[in-house]
Amino acid sequence: MNTRIPAPALLALLFVSGSAFAAAGKVMISSPADGSTFGSGDRIVLKYDAVPGPDGDHLHLNVDGKRMDVIHRLKGTEEVDPLAPGKHHICLAINTSSHVPTGAEGCIDVTVK
- Identify the structural domains of the chain with CATH numbers, from first to last: 25-112 (2.60.40.10)
Going 27 to 33 to 37 to 39, the CA torsion angle's sign is negative
Nearest to 93 by CA among 63, 69, 61, 67: 61
pLDDT at 49: 98
Model confidence pLDDT, tens digit, residues 57-99: 999 999 999 999 999 999 999 999 999 999 999 999 999 999 9
By mean pLDDT, which of 20-24, 50-54, 91-95 is the weakest? 20-24
pLDDT at 1: 52
At residue 24 the predicted structure's pLDDT band, cuts being 50, 70 and 90, is confident
Mean pLDDT of the chain, nearest integer: 88
**Mean pLDDT to the nearest integer, 13-41:** 77
% of the chain exceeding 70 in pLDDT: 80
pLDDT at 16: 45
